[in-house]
Amino acid sequence: MGQRAVIYCRVSTADQSCERQEDDLTAFALRAGYEVAAIFKETGSGAKLDRAERKKVMALAQARKIDAILVTELSRWGRSTTDLLSTLGELESWKVSVIAMNGMTFDLSSPHGRMLATFLSDIAEFERDLISERVKYSLAAAKARGKRLGRQTGERPKSDRLAPKVMTLIAEGRSYLWIARDLAISKNTVNDILKRNRDLNNGT
CATH number at residue 36: 3.40.50.1390
What are the catalytic residues? Answer: 12
DSSP secondary-structure letter at 147? P
Same domain, 102 and 193: no
79 part of a folded domain? yes
Taken as a whole, the chain contains a residue count of 204
Domain range for 161 is: 157-201
59 part of a folded domain? yes
Looking at residue 104, what is its pLDDT? 64
29 part of a folded domain? yes
Distance separating alpha carbons of residues 173 and 49, to the nearest angstrom = 42
80 part of a folded domain? yes
Same domain, 66 and 161: no
81 part of a folded domain? yes
What mean pLDDT is reported for the chain? 79
Same domain, 26 and 98: yes
Work out the average pLDDT over 14-37: 92
Same domain, 174 and 95: no
Q: Where are the alpha helices (DSSP H) in the chain?
A: 19-32, 52-62, 81-93, 111-144, 157-171, 176-183, 187-201
Looking at residue 153, what is its pLDDT? 47
DSSP secondary-structure letter at 164? H
Backbone angles phi, psi at 65, to 5 degrees: -95, -5
Triad 193, 194, 200: Cα angle to 5°: 90
Q: How many domains does the chain divide into?
A: 2
Same domain, 12 and 99: yes
The percent of residues in the chain predicted with pLDDT above 70, rounded, is 73
pTM, to two decimals: 0.56
Lowest mean pLDDT among 28-32, 148-152, 185-189: 148-152
146 part of a folded domain? no
- The answer to whether the beta carbons of residues 102 and 76 sit under 8 Å apart is no
